[in-house]
Chain A
Amino acid sequence: EIVMTQSPATLSVSPGERATLSCRASQSIRNNLAWYQQKPGQAPRLLIYGAFTRASGIPARFSGSGSGTDFNLTISSLQSEDFAVYYCQQYNTWPPITFGPGTKVHI
């Protein structure tokens, strides 16, 4: 099973600042990684797939990078609606599909 880790667990930022979230896989997953955003009381929302392709309707301030075992999600200028929990997920080697534990972005 591929284990996903994320850092930091929590990230304190101010609106307008840049945020970089990290995700690491226990073995290479090539670029088979997705990122999701989840707000309280809501289902997750797909942001990025294929490590760097933005999903439909996702603002350009969200960008993904990385391949192999190390990945980043960057939010270039945080908006108030971006404060949420972010999960990475690998689909290179499954079952099982595995998610990271999440990074909470808060003010």
Chain B
Amino acid sequence: EVQLVESGGGLVQPGGSLRLSCTASGFTLSYYNMYWVRQVPGKGLEWIAYISSSSTTIFHADSVKGRFTVSRDNAKSSLYLQLNGLRAEDTAMYYCARDYRSSSGRAIDYWGQGTLVTVSS
């Protein structure tokens, strides 16, 4: 069974840092590109980062560029998101998610349950 389990969220002061982790099981992480997507409570979904299977291609959303950094360790079946310079507007549930590709199309086929980041003094 495919599972993605996020951890590392919590309460942090503005300007602070956190490192989110996502542990994958039930599949070989090194075969898949991965995403981080966040969701402000009660609001919609916002893509924030993408990392290819071998880390050769990395994208960050403009809203987090220069502050957040995605990385991965395939040997540890883990995905990471380093959050620096946190702001109140970064308060959200953070999901790691798996990229799915087929001849019929592309999508995000598995999502973790999320880890909540709260930025507040």
A residues near B (Cβ < 8 Å) are: 31-32, 34, 36, 42-46, 49-51, 53, 55, 87, 89, 91, 94-102
Q: A46 to B105: give the CA distance in the assembly, Å.
A: 12
A92 closest partner in B (C-beta): B106
Tell me if B78 is interfacial: C-beta within 8 Å of chain A: no
Tell me if B31 is interfacial: C-beta within 8 Å of chain A: no
Tell me if B46 is interfacial: C-beta within 8 Å of chain A: yes
Q: A98 to B44: give the CA distance in the assembly, Å.
A: 11
Residues of the A chain whose Cβ atoms lie less than 8 Å from the Cβ of B32: none
B46 closest partner in A (C-beta): A99
Residues of the B chain whose Cβ atoms lie less than 8 Å from the Cβ of A99: 44-47
Tell me if B80 is interfacial: C-beta within 8 Å of chain A: no
Given A43-B112, A95-B50, is A32 in contact with B106 using a C-beta cutoff of 8 Å?
A: yes
A6 closest partner in B (C-beta): B44
| Least Cβ–Cβ distance between A84 and chain B, in angstroms | 13
| Least Cβ–Cβ distance between B21 and chain A, in angstroms | 16
| Least Cβ–Cβ distance between A3 and chain B, in angstroms | 12
The interface bits of chain B over 59-75 (1 if a CB of A lies within 8 angstroms of the residue's CB, else 0) are: 11110000000000000
Q: A45 to B110: give the CA distance in the assembly, Å.
A: 7
Whether B107 lies near A91 (C-beta < 8 A) is yes
